């Protein structure tokens, strides 16, 4: 991260931190560890983010927009600094869970040779950091590579979207459309639907107000 000019590191429920091994492996970039933000869960780590990309070794076609590292970096850099963005990396052995991915607007997949797909998390992070740096340098020397969608209000943050999703699910349970023990796949599909919409803060407030009004008696 430091080699590529990045500094905003967030760690989600680390097993052991701070730790001497982490400091030693940082090889002079331990200031990033000192300033790292520690969160108990992913929701709190990305609460202030308006665009979240999850790294996945599997393409999971049909569920999320799948970006290659270069496109993901260009998309993120085009949104900065107006929006807070994040790339989420999962544990090396298991990757991100479906619940984690449901909180992402898109996925980034590093294309590897089909006969040998092994890529550890350190290498994956370096590839993505490199592409972010190249996209930032390109933007600094020319016009932005792409323009983010126009919004009347700031894009909704992950925390605001999560609040809306909880309100929506509660309303659907109360109406009988959802059962508390209903499989979570339908809930994830609803999340992806609204993430794809790219809602801004004003639109989230309209939707929350509409849901609240449905429970009022005339």
* Tokens at 100, concatenated: 């984690």
Number of independent structural domains in the chain: 2
pLDDT at 14: 92
Q: What is the crossing angle of helices 158-175 and 201-214, to 10°?
A: 20
Portion of the chain with pLDDT greater than 70, in percent: 92
> Is 147 within a domain?
no
Q: pTM of this prediction? A: 0.83
> Is 67 within a domain?
yes
The answer on 163 and 94 residing in a single domain is no
The answer on 34 and 84 residing in a single domain is yes
The C-alpha atoms of residue 158 and residue 69 are separated, in whole angstroms, by 22
Greatest distance between any 2 Cα atoms in the chain: 66
pLDDT tens per residue across span 9-52:
999 999 989 899 999 999 889 999 999 999 999 999 999 999 99
The C-alpha atoms of residue 198 and residue 156 are separated, in whole angstroms, by 8
Q: What is the CATH number of the domain that holds 190?
A: 1.10.8.590
183 — pLDDT class (breaks 50, 70, 90): low
Return mean pLDDT, the chain: 88
Residue 155 has what DSSP assignment? B
Contact 32, 2 (CB under 8 A): yes
The answer on 132 and 83 residing in a single domain is yes
Domain carrying residue 32: 10-141
Say whether pLDDT at 147 is over 80.
no
* Tokens at 214, concatenated: 């449905």
> Is 118 within a domain?
yes
Comparison of pLDDT for 121 and 57, the residue scoring more: 121
């Amino acid at each position: 991260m430091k080699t590529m000019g990045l500094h905003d590191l967030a760690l989600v429920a680390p097993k052991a931190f701070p730790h001497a091994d982490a400091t030693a492996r940082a090889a002079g970039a331990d200031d990033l560890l000192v300033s790292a933000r520690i969160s108990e869960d992913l929701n709190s780590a990305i609460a202030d983010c308006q665009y979240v990309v999850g790294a996945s070794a599997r393409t999971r076609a049909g569920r999320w927009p799948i970006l290659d590292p270069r496109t993901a970096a260009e998309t993120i850099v085009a949104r900065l600094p107006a929006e807070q963005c994040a790339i989420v990396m999962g544990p090396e052995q298991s990757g991100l869970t479906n619940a984690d991915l449901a909180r992402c607007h898109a996925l980034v997949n590093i294309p590897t040779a089909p006969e040998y797909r092994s890529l550890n998390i350190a290498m994956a992070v370096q590839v993505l950091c490199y592409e972010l740096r190249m996209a930032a340098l390109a933007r600094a020397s020319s016009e932005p590579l792409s323009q983010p969608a126009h919004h009347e209000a700031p894009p909704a943050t992950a925390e605001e979207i999560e609040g809306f999703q909880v309100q929506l699910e509660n309303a659907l349970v109360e109406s009988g459309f959802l059962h508390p023990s209903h499989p979570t796949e339908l809930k994830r599909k609803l999340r992806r639907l609204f993430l794809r919409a790219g809602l801004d803060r004003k639109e989230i407030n309209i939707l929350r107000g509409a849901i609240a009004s449905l429970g009022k008696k005339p």
